[in-house]
Structure 1
Amino acid sequence: MGAAAPRERPPRRDFVLLFGALGAFFLSISMLVATLPLYLRDLAADPVEVGLVVGIFSAGVLAVRPWVGKAVDTRGRRPLLLLGAVTAAVMSPLYVVFPTVLALCLVRIVHGAGLSAFTSASTTLVTDLSPPERRTEFLGYLSTGSILAFAFGPPLGIEIAARFGWTWLFVAATVCAVAAAAFGSGLSKPRRASHGEGPVDYRAALLRREVVVPTATLLLVTLAHGGVFTFLPIRLEQTLAFNLGFFFLAYSAASLVVRLVAGRISRAWGDGPMVWGGLILYSAGMVLLPRIEGVGSMILGATALGVGFGLYQP
């Protein structure tokens, strides 16, 4: 009998650089999650304007997604990753340079486009660099890295804004984005590239039931998610007398813990029951949010949301 083939080892240096870039980039993004609504309130924006500026970020993400998907293959992974990081570095200081609703909407659209480029490139890079038999494992690491950044980014952003002011918050976000670009610039070119299987009929693909149902569900969850996380910081600041970033820390911690065991839950229950369980818990968290009056109810609501989201989107 022949000897077993040696297990392929991933390029450690590239993974360290990639996850460094990932952590720095999402720290830059997440520091603005809880603070931007408060910043807009201090600019005397009304609730409609707050929702518009925060929500229009997603328009930037979606608008360039088809182009980004093609460019990752045709232009390369590293250039798109660097483009996303540099875009975030350029946009972050503009929040204080142009403090008007119209200007901030434009900044947010471009900032969202940068996020789209970075996430598409980083996910594809992990796929390229991972041995096929360990691809899911390393994609899980990618997800965990972003969750950790979103756990610590909001409380860090709020602390910086409270101690040093809004300008230094956006300076810190800029520094993190520059660090992401620095990490990304050290990446080597992938050893293999995916060129796809030819042109894709996106219109036909979007009409397939297995695409329509999860997409519609994700859209509804994302709408609820975006609405809550836009106005929750303002309400929590009025209700609780401590760093409201800890809500996001509890939320991310719960999501991270459940993702670590999501594979076992899926094998035991099946994907369908796990998703339904996640949606029920997420809905329960939504019901709890208006009833937050103290630390205990805040942690309970954040945990229900985090566990629900982790089960629904492991």
Structure 2
Amino acid sequence: MNKPKLWTKNFISISLSNFFLFLTFYILLVTLPIFALKDFHSSATQAGLMTTVFLLSAIISRPLAGQWLEKVGNKKVLLTALIIFAGASLLYFFPKTVMGFLAIRLLHGVGFGMATTAVGTIVADIIPISRRGEGMGYFVMSTNMAMVLGPFFGLMAIQQWGAQILFIVSVIVAFGALVTGLSVKITKTEHSNQSAFSIRNLIEPSAVPIAIVGGFLAIVYSALLSFVSVYANEIHLEHVSSLFFVVYAIVLLMSRPFTGKWLDRYGPNVISYPAIFLFAMGMFVLGKSGGAVTFLVSAGMIGLGWGTLFPTFQTIAIQDAAPRKRGLATATFLSIYDTGIALGSFLVGLVVAKMDYSSLYFLSSFYVLIGAVLYYFLHTRKRAVSEKLTSRENLTVKES
């Protein structure tokens, strides 16, 4: 029996649009705080707000975008979001104060939150149901590749050519997201007639349990995003710090053909528990790293662990929702996940004032293992109880 086709023009286009979205995000993530400190002589707190304001506006806009997807359709929301995102990227040339930049970051975050919600929803509709785990795995790789390339291009641009070239690069990449998004062909779907605004309509309840697990583990992942390069300098491995996420991405590339297929064939539990263990072991090895080999080995283990968990959890969130609720499910999952990232960045900043990075990463390995317990109660056990009740109901219907 032939498998339904995965690598269609639509799938490639939406994955490229997602790649350019996150490439813009990571280019500016690592450079705007540097720009604020150097060009505006702002405080470290003000520089940190460049990221915080962006993430908060993205988190707030996502549930609204999820509701709009259901009401007006995927393509309209996607194009509106990409236009806001690309348009906001043009505005970075003009502000003369930190407050002006923060206002643009607020608008840019709205476009990003809406666009990533729309893209995540559309790709779930494009991927054949029988290959959803595999497809989501490949799709999320576009984010991982942006995470590797974005800081590289961003730092090179601002260090060698200055802020103006940095902003030109971000504009080109942001418009790349718009162009590739325009090429996606979406079949018309029925829209909800629901018009009244309600807080209840901003959240998809079926996605909340797995999103909580994702957000819980994202707190540890945020410690990597924010401080792994600082830790590398602390243990005198600055010469290999830039390779951490390169190794992370290479291991992902090598594992993706297998992990996605196993998810579709055997279900999420067979994938999730080993991945959580690998994530924990990677953090343990990272905390005990004394040389380049163990430092990069930990990157590979974390890449295989967390890099597998994120698309698995997002797939669960989408599969547990009704088809017309996929947009809201995607928004719910990503909002709670981003809350974990934002909360983690804040909490880790407090923790490192009390302990060194080595101890932080070492203790994080035990925190990740608690995530396995959380996953059991919020997904495995909950799913088993639900299936048991369903089988009883079916048996009752047959007997009657």
TM superposition score category, shorter chain reference: 0.7 to 0.9
* Counterparts of 1:165 and 1:291, CA distance in 2: 37
Within the alignment, does 1:120 sit opposite 2:128 as a pair? no
Contact 1:158 1:243 in 2 (8 A): no
Within the alignment, does 1:162 sit opposite 2:159 as a pair? yes
- 1:120-269 to structure 2, matched below 5 A, reads 120-188=117-185, 190-193=186-189, 195=191, 213-233=209-229, 236=232, 242=239, 244-263=241-260
- 2:109 match: secondary structure: helix
Within the alignment, does 1:82 sit opposite 2:79 as a pair? yes
Alpha-carbon offset, residue 65 of structure 1: 1.5
Give TM-score, length-normalised by structure 2. Answer: 0.62
Q: Could you report, residue by residue, the CA deviation over 1:259-309 in whole angstroms, capped at 9, with x for unpaired residues?
A: 432246658986446434433433444455566676434423322332221
Q: Which amino acid aligns with 1:29?
A: F
Q: Which amino acid aligns with 1:304?
A: M
* Counterparts of 2:89 and 2:230, CA distance in 1: 21
The 1:69/1:205 distance shift into structure 2, 3 A limit, reads closer
Residue of structure 1 aligned with 2:62, choices 65, 68, 82: 65
* Counterparts of 1:235 and 1:80, CA distance in 2: 40
Q: Could you report, residue by residue, the CA deviation over 1:62-111 in whole angstroms, capped at 9, with x for unpaired residues?
A: 20122101212333322322233223323335445436544444333322
The 1:157/1:247 distance shift into structure 2, 3 A limit, reads farther
* Counterparts of 1:111 and 1:227, CA distance in 2: 24
Q: Could you report, residue by residue, the CA deviation over 1:109-135 in whole angstroms, capped at 9, with x for unpaired residues?
A: 322221222122222323344444444
> Who is 2:17 aligned against?
21
* Counterparts of 1:93 and 1:242, CA distance in 2: 35
Q: Which amino acid aligns with 2:13?
A: L
Q: Which amino acid aligns with 1:68?
A: A
> Who is 2:338 aligned against?
none
Give TM-score, length-normalised by structure 1. Answer: 0.76
* Counterparts of 1:66 and 1:139, CA distance in 2: 21
Please identify the structure whose Cα radius of gyration is greater: 2
> Who is 2:108 aligned against?
111
Moved more, 113-122 or 211-220: 211-220
Within the alignment, does 1:302 sit opposite 2:317 as a pair? no
Alpha-carbon offset, residue 178 of structure 1: 0.8
The 1:127/1:55 distance shift into structure 2, 3 A limit, reads same
Q: Which amino acid aligns with 2:215?
A: L
Unaligned runs of 5+ in 2: 313-400
Which structure features the higher share of helix residues? 2
Contact 1:233 1:244 in 2 (8 A): yes
Q: Which amino acid aligns with 1:71?
A: W
Alpha-carbon offset, residue 212 of structure 1: 5.4
> Who is 2:27 aligned against?
31
- 1:124 match: secondary structure: helix
Alpha-carbon offset, residue 168 of structure 1: 1.4
Alpha-carbon offset, residue 244 of structure 1: 4.9
Unaligned runs of 5+ in 1: none
Contact 1:127 1:135 in 2 (8 A): yes
Moved more, 286-295 or 56-65: 286-295
Contact 1:285 1:301 in 2 (8 A): yes
Q: Which amino acid aligns with 1:172?
A: V
Contact 1:154 1:248 in 2 (8 A): no
Q: Could you report, residue by residue, the CA deviation over 1:23-75 in whole angstroms, capped at 9, with x for unpaired residues?
A: 32222223234434444443545444444332333211220122101212333
Contact 2:134 2:263 in 1 (8 A): no
> Who is 2:347 aligned against?
none
The 1:293/1:100 distance shift into structure 2, 3 A limit, reads farther
Residue of structure 2 aligned with 1:282, choices 255, 279, 283: 279
Contact 1:128 1:193 in 2 (8 A): no
* Counterparts of 2:202 and 2:112, CA distance in 1: 24
* Counterparts of 2:289 and 2:97, CA distance in 1: 32
- 1:32 match: secondary structure: helix
- 2:180 match: secondary structure: helix
Alpha-carbon offset, residue 146 of structure 1: 2.5
Aligned residues: 308
Q: Could you report, residue by residue, the CA deviation over 1:128-161 in whole angstroms, capped at 9, with x for unpaired residues?
A: 4444444444433322323223232222222223
